[in-house]
Amino acid sequence: MLHERPAERNAPSPRSVRLSVTDRCDFACTYCRPSRSDGYASERLDLGAWKVLVSGLLTAGVRRFRLTGGEPLVHPEVVRIVSAVVEVAAAAGLEREIDLAMTTNASQLARLAKPLAEAGLRRINVSIDTLDEQRFRAITRGGELAPVLAGIDAALEAGLTPLKLNTVVLRGVNDDELEGLVRFAWARGMVPRFLEVMPIAEGAQLARSHLVTVAEMRASLAHLLQPDPAVAEPDRGPAKYVRARGASERVGFISGTSDTYCGSCDRLRVSSTGTLRPCLATDDGVESAAALAAASTAGVADLVGEAWLLKPDGRTFKGCTESSAAHVSMRAIGG
Ligand code: SAM
Ligand code: SF4
């Protein structure tokens, strides 16, 4: 389906990309996948293909790269992919201009934080929904909290900062832990961020019954935060931040459901099989297989432009609350 895209609303070309390096994951969070055995794609891009893709994305003007998934740390070559992004940027003379970050569940981070930092990864966001072991097992369907906490310590030690925590808030599940997570993050110099569950993929079921809006989250943290309007960081995605009362710490909020932010979106996504996707909430996309097989950087750059033309308009399109969103796989296209 094509959506009208008024040029004045969305960025004229993508500046930021999320690379879903694998659709595999060692967790099965209740809002993301239906079970641990919901099936994976039979193939994924190899290292050579990622190099051509990154080169094409740089040619098309992309400067901010975020590795995601699925779980990027279960990819056996994740450190080499990080090195490859840095090498390709250096070859194009753009090493100083790029930003290279990752979103991860941190289950494998204790052993990988240092090699990733040495390979050139700059920053990391860790998804953690609770500090309670039992709840953690329930939300992730069997995941263990202790390795995640060890991974966070290792990332701080390796200098992968500023480290942000992402928590999806679910009514009756973890909505009594906001203050605990804020204090946990602030005590370690991290930035806690709270996300509304989006009616996308498995979240389509949960958003009906378990949505906690950003307005409710702010109200429950009002005693810790300044009452001022939340402010976005320039070029850093949809999160808006509020400062602590009398201190410099911050809390971020992401309102993917109650207040969509499609009008300012400058983000493209690349699936683990190489589809260029302009939007999380639709199935629109452009296949890059032929350009990758021909190792054509210019071909990829052209396809990036083609994919960008499919970007929905930010005015009438209601982001992840559109009915199309319930049918996409968050894992495959990198949430
Ligand atoms: N596995 C990694 C992780 O969990 O950080 C990276 C991929 S995950 C799909 C990226 C982010 O999407 C995570 O912070 C996760 O909490 C978030 N996410 C997944 N499904 C969501 C939903 N239905 N609503 C809101 N956030 C969601
Ligand atoms: Fe895996 Fe991340 Fe999805 Fe959880 S949110 S199932 S960790 S991809």
Between residues 323 and 122, which one has the greater pLDDT?
122
Question: Looking at the predicted structure, is the pLDDT value of residue 6 above 70?
Answer: no
CA 335 to centroid of ligand 1, rounded, Å: 5
Q: Please give the tally of structural domains in the chain.
A: 1
Task: Residue 29: give the domain boundaries.
Answer: 6-165+264-333
The residues near 209 (Cβ < 8 Å, ≥ 6 apart) are 171
What is residue 335's predicted lDDT score, i.e. its pLDDT? 64
What is residue 225's predicted lDDT score, i.e. its pLDDT? 97
Please report whether residue 91 resides in a domain.
yes
Output the domain CATH number for residue 96: 3.20.20.70
In short, whether 143's Cβ falls inside 6 Å of ligand 2 is: no
Confidence tier at 326 by pLDDT (50, 70, 90): low
Strand partners, 242: 251
The 10s digit of each residue's pLDDT in 35-81 is 888 878 888 999 999 999 999 999 999 999 999 999 999 999 999 99
Please report whether residue 30 resides in a domain.
yes
What is residue 273's predicted lDDT score, i.e. its pLDDT? 93
Question: Looking at the predicted structure, is the pLDDT value of residue 3 above 50?
Answer: no
Instruction: List the single range of 78-92, 176-190, 207-221, 320-334 with lowest mean pLDDT.
Output: 320-334
Task: State mean pLDDT over 301-329.
Answer: 76
What is residue 306's predicted lDDT score, i.e. its pLDDT? 95
Rounded to the nearest integer, the mean pLDDT of the chain is: 90
Pairing mode of beta strands 267-270, 275-277: antiparallel
If we measure between CA atoms, which residue out of 322, 232, 262, 270 comes closest to residue 6?
Answer: 262
CA 261 to centroid of ligand 2, rounded, Å: 22
Please report whether residue 311 resides in a domain.
yes
**Which residue among 23, 66, 328, 331 is best mutated to probe the pocket of ligand 2, counting the most ligand atoms within 8 A of its Cβ?**
331
Question: Looking at the predicted structure, is the pLDDT value of residue 235 above 60?
Answer: yes
Confidence tier at 1 by pLDDT (50, 70, 90): very low
Q: Which ligand is nearest to the CA of 38?
A: 2
What is residue 208's predicted lDDT score, i.e. its pLDDT? 87
What percentage of the chain exceeds 90 in pLDDT? 73
Closest residue by Cα to atom 13, ligand 1, is 127
Confidence tier at 257 by pLDDT (50, 70, 90): confident
CA 330 to centroid of ligand 2, rounded, Å: 8
Please report whether residue 297 resides in a domain.
yes
Question: Looking at the predicted structure, is the pLDDT value of residue 301 above 50?
Answer: yes
The 10s digit of each residue's pLDDT in 148-176 is 999 999 999 999 999 999 999 999 999 99
The 10s digit of each residue's pLDDT in 101-124 is 999 999 999 999 999 999 999 999
What number of residues does the chain have? Answer: 335
Instruction: List the single range of 55-69, 130-144, 234-248 with lowest mean pLDDT.
Output: 234-248
In short, whether 25's Cβ falls inside 6 Å of ligand 1 is: yes
Please report whether residue 10 resides in a domain.
yes
CA 106 to centroid of ligand 2, rounded, Å: 11
In short, whether 195's Cβ falls inside 6 Å of ligand 1 is: yes
Please report whether residue 71 resides in a domain.
yes
Please report whether residue 141 resides in a domain.
yes
In short, whether 212's Cβ falls inside 6 Å of ligand 1 is: no
What is residue 185's predicted lDDT score, i.e. its pLDDT? 98
Please report whether residue 258 resides in a domain.
no
What is residue 96's predicted lDDT score, i.e. its pLDDT? 93
Closest residue by Cα to atom 19, ligand 1, is 32
